[in-house]
Amino acid sequence: MAARKSTAKSNVSAEELLGFYKDMLLIRRFEEKAGQLYGMGLIGGFCHLYIGQEAVVVGLEATAKEGDKRITTYRDHGHMLACGMDPKGVMAELTGREGGLSKGKGGSMHMFSKEKHFYGGHGIVGANVPLGAGLAFSDMYKGNDNVTFTYFGDGAANQGQVYETYNMAMLWNLPVIFVIENNKYAMGTSVQRATKSPSLWERGAAYGIKGEEVDGMDVLAVKAAGEKAVAHCRAGKGPYILEIMTYRYRGHSMSDPAKYRTRDEVQKVRSERDAIEHVRDLLLQGKHATEDDLKEIDKEIKAVVNEAAEFSKESPEPALEELWTDIYA
Amino acid sequence: MATEVLMPALSPTMEEGTLAKWLVKEGDTVSSGDILAEIETDKATMEFEAVDEGVIGKILIEAGTEGVKVNTPIAILVEEGEEVPAEGAKAESAPAPAALNGEEGKVAAPATAAPAPDAPKPDTSPDWPEGTEMKTQTVREALRDAMAEEMRRADEVFVMGEEVAEYQGAYKITQGLLDEFGARRVIDTPITEHGFAGIGVGAAFGGLRPIVEFMTFNFAMQAIDQIINSAAKTLYMSGGQMGCPIVFRGPNGAAARVAAQHSQCYAAWYSHIPGLKVAMPYSAADAKGLLKTAIRDPNPVIFLENEILYGRSFEVPDLDDFTVPFGKAKTWREGSDVTIVSFGIGMNYALEAAERLAGDGIEAEVIDLRTIRPMDTDAILASVMKTNRLVTVEEGFPQSSVGNYITSVVMEQAFDYLDAPVINLCGKDVPMPYAANLEKLALVTTDEVVEAVRKVTYR
């Protein structure tokens, strides 16, 4: 198959391209392993996998600098890995163990890292959007030039508090990038069955917020759009909206049989538009890497993921006293 | 190397399922993502995908088998050209899940019903040193001073809410703050409680100390998800990493003639939530001292004020930095015949009733909780062990009231000391009516407190 052309002009280096490949592959392999551990009963409750959407967070993380913040919804494993949180700690949180990033008390949907400026991991659809604007407010108040990436889905985009937040973000010129990860389905309801709006990013216009639609299966296009949005925010011009068109290959959560779309629809995206395959083709065709190099990378990543899985099984369950800690600071 | 494919758990509650259909047969080559089988769970029919690549060496569970337990081997996957291991030889199986349940929950349980051997010794130290100069202030002025002092003390403290800046506060609590601190720190919001409560919580995560004013707590119901799910629970969900130092404040409870949607007490609602602290001052001194403590607290604090009390004057200690600790009740009046516990505007009725009862020779001990969570239950228990009788007074609705909780604590820890059933006086179990006569009837009254005390003292 010929390599898909990137829709974005970018003089990306071979090194950066390889970095994208590794970061996206880590997320995919990690999520596949999480699905496996769920099947084995090691992970309980809800577990929302990011498989298919990897280019969104990897492309945007490439535009962040130290101090920038990020906050997202419950489909959060990919975001945590992309900002450098330890796969072992993430996986052990999924299995509810002491070595998890929240000591086993948060689970798949609720993880945080102050060190990496990752502010969760939130389980209520839409609620993280004002929180993200609040984080941006704290940076504006302190007078630095940090930005906050606030991720949410096409489903959350219909929540009222998103528009309350748009209004105040523009009113107060907050340095927040609203990232709508449009994966076409809010659980089982397609975007077309939830709204008559032709596009979600254009709703920002009602508040004077600029934005654009981005090809989320092309990591270079995501990065290029991210750079534009970040520059806008850092220049003190207020919020920016990126509606990133992406696709999740798995169900909404592990218990979703995904009967609302055809197998062919999923296969078509997988075989024609997969973000990882895209970068793989660019690497091979640009002679930045050989098949053997990529096999080696696959092996390395498999090892990292297996190590995380082993850690998540061996780490003990939290001590019973933990029930009563961390309620008050 | 051969690996066993195990029956997967495909929902949070699945323990077994039906292997409805195989979509592969022995000898088929599969790769990651291929559908192997359809499995019926308790909820739906799910497609089961391969996670590894290989060849289906052997199918162990036939299609149509019901009641297949999770983690039962259902097939063996081998590598290209590899033999299926002989019957009995153990294929490499993905490790069985470790025991998910620890030893059965033997954790520190809350105190159970054993009679307290000794009366607890509550902290009864005075709130300010003897001889401190006092000044007369309204609750309104005390609240404003508390905010101004804390804003002078720390740049991270700021106020946001509807009409807090240019209008000088819908109830004039933030009067003068804009002039002193400027628009960066005194911020008018649009009418958008859900949104600005969330922005406040996010700002607290980001290291600031917001004071979010609700024009009344009735409007905070639009924001209650952010208060409870985002502010109160994040410290726990993050394993102690990320706290939320924020104060939500504003008038709470009935004012006068504003009817059902503007007249509700939320003390019981918020005090239900682990992770929140709830203060509800009565006097101006407590309003000031508690609000300063609330602003310095690293946790989310619900600060419930009362419109009717805003204009009431009290003596306030004239100190540079006066604070009142949370979880320390104040005994306004000592007595040996009955304990009356209240908070906020309920204290008004409790104190009036005590005065009248004293005229008839009944000495009531009147305790102001000041904070509902943490609650100074030691002060209540010590008093009840002395008076053997208890009446609670609040304006909120009766079912699941703060008084109900106090009663359960006293039952469990001081049952043998009670000489009469506890009476919980509350607002009536009706939405607040508008008509003046009905409104009066809906609220708790001094007469009712007097009557309740007579009942529990049999006098």
Q: Parallel, antiparallel, or unpaired for β B247-251 and B301-305?
A: parallel
- Is A130 close to B207, i.e. CB distance below 8 A? no
Which residue in B51, B201, B207 is closest to A32 by CB distance? B51
- Is B202 close to A45, i.e. CB distance below 8 A? no
Percent of chain B's residues with pLDDT above 90? 79
Interface check B32 vs A, CB under 8 A: yes
Which residue in A103, A160, A168 is closest to B189 by CB distance? A168
Closest-CA distance of chain A to residue B106, Å = 8
Q: Please, where are the H alpha helices in chain A?
A: 14-39, 54-61, 77-82, 87-94, 128-142, 160-171, 191-194, 219-234, 263-273, 275-285, 291-314
- Is A112 close to B274, i.e. CB distance below 8 A? no
- Is B235 close to A324, i.e. CB distance below 8 A? no
User: Tokens 């019901």 map to which residue?
Assistant: B66
- Is A39 close to B8, i.e. CB distance below 8 A? yes
Which residue in B71, B195, B225 is closest to A165 by CB distance? B195
Position B104 pLDDT exceeds 90: no
- Is B199 close to A130, i.e. CB distance below 8 A? yes
Q: Quickly count: other Cβ atoms within 10 Å of residue A124's Cβ.
A: 17
pTM for this predicted structure = 0.90
The CATH architecture of the domain made up of B330-457 is 3-Layer(aba) Sandwich (3.40)
DSSP-based three-state secondary structure for A84: coil
Best of A43, A164, A178, A207 to disrupt the B interface (most B CBs within 10 Å) is A164
Digit-coded pLDDT (tens) for B128-143? 999 999 999 999 999 9
- Is A138 close to B208, i.e. CB distance below 8 A? yes
User: Which of B43-52, B120-129, B202-211: highest mean pLDDT?
Assistant: B202-211
User: Searching chain B, which residue's CA lies closest to the CA of residue A143?
Assistant: B184
CATH of region B134-317, choose from 3.40.50.970, 3.90.650.10, 3.30.230.10, 3.30.365.10: 3.40.50.970
- Is A320 close to B240, i.e. CB distance below 8 A? no
Domain boundaries, chain A: 16-274+292-315
Tokens of B258: 């504003």
- In B, residues 172-191, which contact A (CB 8 Å cutoff)? 184, 187, 189-190
Closest-CA distance of chain B to residue A11, Å = 33
Phi, psi angles (nearest 5°) of residue A313: -90, -35
Interface check B114 vs A, CB under 8 A: no
Delimit the CATH 2.40.50.100 region(s) of chain B: 3-78
Tokens of B323: 């604070």
Residues of chain A with C-beta less than 8 angstroms from the C-beta of B203: 134-135, 137-138, 141
The confidence band for B31, taking pLDDT boundaries of 50, 70 and 90, is confident
- In A, residues 173-212, which contact B (CB 8 Å cutoff)? none
Closest-CA distance of chain B to residue A273, Å = 16
User: Searching chain B, which residue's CA lies closest to the CA of residue A113?
Assistant: B241
Give the residue-averaged pLDDT of B281-294.
98
Interface check B43 vs A, CB under 8 A: yes
End-to-end Cα distance, chain B: 87
Q: What is the pLDDT of residue A7?
A: 52
Q: Please provide the average confidence, as pLDDT, over all residues in chain B.
A: 91
Tokens of B221: 């119901």
How many beta-carbon pairs under 8 angstroms link A with B?
A: 210
User: Searching chain B, which residue's CA lies closest to the CA of residue A258?
Assistant: B46
- Please tell me whether the peptide bond between A239 and the residue prior to it is cis, using omega within 30 degrees of 0: no
Better pLDDT: B292 or B44: B292
- SS3 string, chain B, reads CCEEEECCCCCCCCCEEEEEEECCCCCCEECCCCEEEEEECCCCEEEEECCCCEEEEEECCCCCEEEEECCCEEEEEECCCCCCCCCCCCCECCCCCCCCCCCCCCCCCCCCCCCCCCCCCCCCCCCCCCCCCEEEEEHHHHHHHHHHHHHHHCCCEEEEECCCCCCCCCCCCCCCHHHHHCCCCEEECCCCHHHHHHHHHHHHHCCCEEEEECCCCCHHHHHHHHHHHHHHCHHHHCCCCCCCCCEEEEECCCCCCCCHHHCCCCHHHHHCCCCCEEECCCCHHHHHHHHHHHHHCCCCEEEEECCCCCCCEEEEECCCCCCCCCCCCEEEECCCCEEEEECCCHHHHHHHHHHHHHHCCCCEEEEECCEEECCCHHHHHHHHHHHCCEEEECCCCCCCCHHHHHHHHHHHHHHHHCCCCCEEECCCCCCCCCCHHHHHHHCCCHHHHHHHHHHHHCC
Q: Please provide the average confidence, as pLDDT, over all residues in chain A.
A: 95
Residues of chain B with C-beta less than 8 angstroms from the C-beta of A168: 189-190, 192, 195-196, 199
Which residue in A40, A328, A329 is closest to B94 by CB distance? A40
Assigned CATH topology for domain B3-78: OB fold (Dihydrolipoamide Acetyltransferase, E2P) (2.40.50)
The confidence band for B388, taking pLDDT boundaries of 50, 70 and 90, is very high
Q: Which of B178, B150, B174 is nearest to B301 (CA)?
A: B150
Q: What is the pLDDT of residue A4?
A: 66
- Is B192 close to A164, i.e. CB distance below 8 A? yes
Give the lowest-confidence range in A44-58, B96-110, B188-202: B96-110
d(CA A167, CA A178): 13
The confidence band for A171, taking pLDDT boundaries of 50, 70 and 90, is very high
Give the residue-averaged pLDDT of B452-457.
98
Q: What is the pLDDT of residue B87?
A: 58
Largest CA distance in chain B: 101
Residues of chain A with C-beta less than 8 angstroms from the C-beta of B274: 327
DSSP-based three-state secondary structure for A185: strand
Digit-coded pLDDT (tens) for A38-50? 999 999 999 999 9
d(CA B117, CA B112): 13
Closest-CA distance of chain B to residue A111, Å = 6
Interface check A323 vs B, CB under 8 A: yes
* Contact indicator for A97, A316 with CB cutoff of 8 Å: yes
- In A, residues 246-265, which contact B (CB 8 Å cutoff)? 249, 254-255, 257-259, 263
Better pLDDT: A3 or A274: A274
Digit-coded pLDDT (tens) for A202-234? 999 999 999 999 999 999 999 999 999 999 999
Digit-coded pLDDT (tens) for B341-378? 999 999 999 999 999 999 999 999 999 999 999 999 99
The confidence band for B46, taking pLDDT boundaries of 50, 70 and 90, is confident
Best of A255, A271, A276, A317 to disrupt the B interface (most B CBs within 10 Å) is A255
Closest-CA distance of chain A to residue B191, Å = 9
* Contact indicator for A142, A67 with CB cutoff of 8 Å: no
Q: Quickly count: other Cβ atoms within 10 Å of residue B334's Cβ.
A: 12
Rg of the Cα atoms in chain B:
31
Give strand pairing partners of B159: B186, B211
Closest-CA distance of chain A to residue B451, Å = 40
Which residue in A124, A171, A329 is closest to B243 by CB distance? A329
Q: What is the pLDDT of residue A11?
A: 66
Does the domain made of A16-274+292-315 have the CATH classification 3.40.50.970? Answer: yes
d(CA A122, CA A110): 6
- In A, residues 140-159, which contact B (CB 8 Å cutoff)? 141-142
Closest-CA distance of chain A to residue B37, Å = 12
Digit-coded pLDDT (tens) for B93-103? 544 333 333 33
Closest-CA distance of chain B to residue A313, Å = 7
- Is B197 close to A130, i.e. CB distance below 8 A? yes
Best of A91, A101, A327 to disrupt the B interface (most B CBs within 10 Å) is A327
Q: What is the pLDDT of residue A202?
A: 97
Interface check A36 vs B, CB under 8 A: yes
Best of B238, B277, B296 to disrupt the A interface (most A CBs within 10 Å) is B238
Q: Which of A30, A32, A138 is nearest to A89 (CA)?
A: A30
- In B, residues 130-169, which contact A (CB 8 Å cutoff)? 158
- In A, residues 268-297, which contact B (CB 8 Å cutoff)? 270
User: Tokens 């043998």 map to which residue?
Assistant: B416
Which residues, other chains included, contact A206 with Cβ-Cβ below 8 Å and sequence gap of 6+? A166
Q: What is the pLDDT of residue A247?
A: 96
Interface check B230 vs A, CB under 8 A: yes
Interface check B45 vs A, CB under 8 A: yes
Position A97 pLDDT exceeds 50: yes
Delimit the CATH 3.40.50.970 region(s) of chain B: 134-317
Q: Which of B166, B160, B172, B224 is nearest to B196 (CA)?
A: B160
d(CA B332, CA B367): 6
- What is the edge-to-edge ordering of all strands in the sheet holding B45-49? B45-49, B35-40, B16-22, B65-69
Interface check A45 vs B, CB under 8 A: yes
Residues of B serving a catalytic function are 193, 262
Q: Quickly count: other Cβ atoms within 10 Å of residue B167's Cβ.
A: 13
Q: What is the pLDDT of residue B43?
A: 73
Determine the angle formed by the axes of helices A14-39 and A87-94, rounding to 10 degrees: 20
d(CA A165, CA A132): 9
Tokens of B18: 């039906």
Residues of chain B with C-beta less than 8 angstroms from the C-beta of A165: 195, 198-199
DSSP-based three-state secondary structure for A121: strand
Digit-coded pLDDT (tens) for A269-321? 999 999 999 999 999 999 999 999 999 999 999 999 999 999 999 999 999 99
